[in-house]
Amino acid sequence: MSEKAINTADNKLAILYYVHSLDIPLTNTQVTQFFLENDIMNYFDLQQLLGQLVSSDHLTCLETGHKSFYSITEKGRKTLHLFLDHIPKWLRHAINVYATQNRHRFKRENQITAEYKRVSSKEYQVICRVMENDIVLIDLRLSVTDRKQARIICNNWDTKAPEIYKFIVQQLTV
């Protein structure tokens, strides 16, 4: 690691500060990207620390199909408040700048979700959703016969949801 490397406890605080600063549920990728791009910690250490923060109730992790969303808990906020000075100023500044630049994009990315669950041996239910400002614009549920098809739908929903939503609204309002 670079000269910017800091110890494990401070790394946990940095993760809490990052999640708190963005102030929205974040995917694992959205958390990982910042810490790897800035050479603050390696991928494996970061994943281990995220797991520890969830286990200790400093973060929550909501699993939704193929994505996990991290949010800070009240315990995490209190811990962060008590030990905020342990996070180097350069790192707090870097996180604040990154949060300002990426919050809107992350929020937009997280408003389009898709997940699937097995209903029976021959059926999977796919739940595709688009939200805007905490309002559900579309909640589409499909039944498919196999897991592969369910995964393909989930993966395609991320890029095709706006187009599909627009099409449905246009077709139903003529």
- Whether the pLDDT of residue 110 is over 50: the answer is yes
Say if residue 41 is in the same domain as residue 56.
yes
In angstroms, rounded to a whole number, what is the distance separating the alpha carbons of residues 61 and 52?
11
Long-range CB contacts (< 8 A, 24+ apart) of 94-99? 94/38, 95/14, 95/17, 95/18, 95/21, 95/34, 96/21, 98/34, 99/18, 99/21, 99/22, 99/23
- Whether the pLDDT of residue 166 is over 70: the answer is yes
Closest CA to 38 of 83, 84, 97: 97
Say if residue 17 is in the same domain as residue 39.
yes
Give the domain extent around 56: 8-110
Q: Does 152 reside within a domain?
A: yes
Residues 20-70: pLDDT tens digits? 999 999 999 999 999 999 999 999 999 999 999 999 999 999 876 567 889
Q: What is the mean pLDDT of the chain?
A: 91
Say if residue 14 is in the same domain as residue 79.
yes
Residues 98-107: pLDDT tens digits? 999 999 889 8
**Which pTM was predicted?**
0.71
72: CATH: 1.10.10.10
Helices 28-37 and 8-22 pack at an angle, to 10 degrees, of: 120
